[in-house]
Amino acid sequence: STDFGIKEALEQLGIKDVNHGTSTGSNNFGSGEEISSYSPTDGSLIAKVSTTTKEDYEKVMEAATSAFTTFRAMPAPQRGEIVRQFGNKLRELKEPLGKLVSYEMGKSLQEGYGEVQEMIDICDFAVGLSRQLNGQTIPSERPGHVMREQWHSLGVVGIISAFNFPVAVWAWNTALAWVCGDTCVWKASEKTPLCSVACQNIIAGILKENNLPEGISCIINGDYKVGEMMTTDSRIPLISATGSTRMGRIVGATVAERFGKSLLELGGNNAIIITPTADLKVVVPGAVFGAVGTCGQRCTSTRRLIIHESVYDKVRDAIVGAYGQLTIGNPLDEKNHIGPLIDKDSVNTYLTAIEKAKAEGGNVLVEGGVLEGEGYESGCYVKPAIIEAENDFEIVQTETFAPILYLMKYSGDVENAIDTQNGVAQGLSSAIMTNEMKEAEKFLSFAGSDCGIANVNIGTSGAEIGGAFGGEKETGGGRESGSDAWKVYMRRQTNTVNYSDELPLAQGIKFDL
Ligand code: UN1
């Protein structure tokens, strides 16, 4: 069987001792026990990475803290120049890095490349931003006074990211944090450690070429215990964490306890509302890609379709029909739409969810199940399932990170569908399919979708980096990536300067001596 060029890809990315031994990125201070990274595509061991001990962590923090004093003094556009070089290097390495993402995480090769493209895009965005970290001038109520707002670098930013976007989510955070003058410590998912080693190798090379301290970008490896070193560490003013609501609840509370800031990007339970005027040509690919892309493991994956009763049968049949066209298999083989789930635990969660949906009264339209036989030896390949369900089923209210799509009906006005769409604890992404301007605008209004992302005539996943990314309620409230999300990586300072010879007090207070 062909290895799809994985060996060369790993070599190009500086991943050593493939299938054996320890991979040490140049800033991987790990001396703890090793984590083995197995590919869910074929079950084979890719390489091992050593984890970070408490002592290693202290060294990393020393490096990151001291690099911060150098880095914040560098003019922001010069920091942007470093990010520009990083983006160019990613352009050169798009193919091997995309392949590693696909191989280690299991998403389709197209989506692996797409993820690297997201990194390149955010670098471009950050480069421009490095000349636009603008504050404002504010009119003072006092004569001979001026007020200003400045944005200063924040410090060491801790990044905790999930397996499903093993490189892009780090880049969203780190590219912005760097132009803002911060240094970053990244704990990637222990399920995709080699992706983080590869990224670290790339940036370490750029920093070296520019004679900059490596501490500007650090990685730490391991499970939640390693993450805890950061969340409890008051030297880290901002923790940006992407992952489950369960994780975010703990991270948010721990960071708040020490008055740190956290940027949380947690679970979604994303729905598409399909109205009577929806165009099936748009609905079918939007809903199907949303539900099965990345094997249902995006935080923006489509979990629910809320379909008007008048078009229900037609839409259901079209979606079910499209599922019949899906090919499942090795994600590096470009003829496959869907790769495996990340691991066997995830397969069990998927199976349990289907059982639960059935037990609650769900009607299975497309059977799920684990695939067996040639090409499926890893035991992580599953069939995407479609189940008719009610919004108030406990399982429908839960985010299951797998390709299970729940169909439900609404009747009457779009308001009813919006109520159902909002009737979950999560608030990340949402969409409406309609050609009725009034329905679309209602959906986008204050009384419409309560999510951080609300789309018209496109699906729930696949956001561009230019917008702020994140959501409300149990999604955690954080915003990453585009728009003014950069502000969270800086500290705001309000300045009032008196250039008069008097000292008038604000609010007209008299204090005569
Ligand atoms: C995630 O799943 O954590 O909008 C991020 C999307 C991607 C990012 C998803 N651009 O689906």
As given in the structure block, the two tokens for residue 337 are 């739409």
How far apart are the two ends of the chain, measured CA to CA in Å? Answer: 90
Centre of ligand 1 from the C-alpha of residue 26, in Å = 29
316-324 CB contacts, 8 Å cutoff, 24+ apart:
316/365, 316/407, 318/280, 318/283, 318/284, 319/283, 319/284, 319/287, 319/288, 319/386, 319/405, 319/407, 320/365, 320/366, 320/386, 322/284, 322/285, 322/288, 323/288, 323/292, 323/366, 323/384, 323/386
Residue in 111, 295, 298 to alter for ligand 1 test, most ligand atoms within 8 A of Cβ: 298
Position in ligand 1 atom list of the atom nearest CA 118: 10
- pLDDT over 90, % of the chain: 93
- List C-alpha distances in Å: 491 to 135, 177, 494: 11, 12, 10
Position in ligand 1 atom list of the atom nearest CA 469: 4
Maximum distance among all Cα pairs of the chain, rounded to whole angstroms: 90
Given a cut of 90, is residue 25 above it in pLDDT?
A: no
Q: Which of the residue ranges 112-116, 148-152, 221-225, 432-436 would you say has the lowest mean pLDDT?
A: 221-225
Residue labelled with tokens 């708040």? 256
Task: Give the pLDDT confidence of 325-376 residue by residue, as tens digits.
Answer: 999 999 999 999 999 999 999 999 999 999 999 999 999 999 999 999 999 9
- Round to whole Å and give the CA distance between 103 and 3: 10
Position in ligand 1 atom list of the atom nearest CA 461: 11
Centre of ligand 1 from the C-alpha of residue 104, in Å = 17
Q: Is 419 helix (H, G, I), strand (E, B) or coil?
A: helix
**Beta 385-388 vs 363-366: how paired, if at all?**
antiparallel
Residue labelled with tokens 């805890």? 228
Query: Which pLDDT band holds residue 115 (cuts at 50, 70, 90)?
Result: very high
Query: Which pLDDT band holds residue 28 (cuts at 50, 70, 90)?
Result: low
Average pLDDT, the chain: 95
Q: Go through 77-86 and write b for each residue having 16 or more CB atoms within 10 A of its CB, e for each that does not.
A: eebbbbbbbb
Positions of E strands within 209-353: 217-220, 238-242, 261-265, 270-274, 302-308
Half-sphere exposure (Cβ direction) of 310: Cα atoms closer than 13 Å: 8
Positions of E strands within 71-155: 137-138, 145-153
The reply to whether 265 belongs to the active site is yes
What does the pLDDT read at residue 22?
39
Residues with Cβ within 6 A of ligand 1? 118, 164-165, 169, 242, 298-300, 461-463
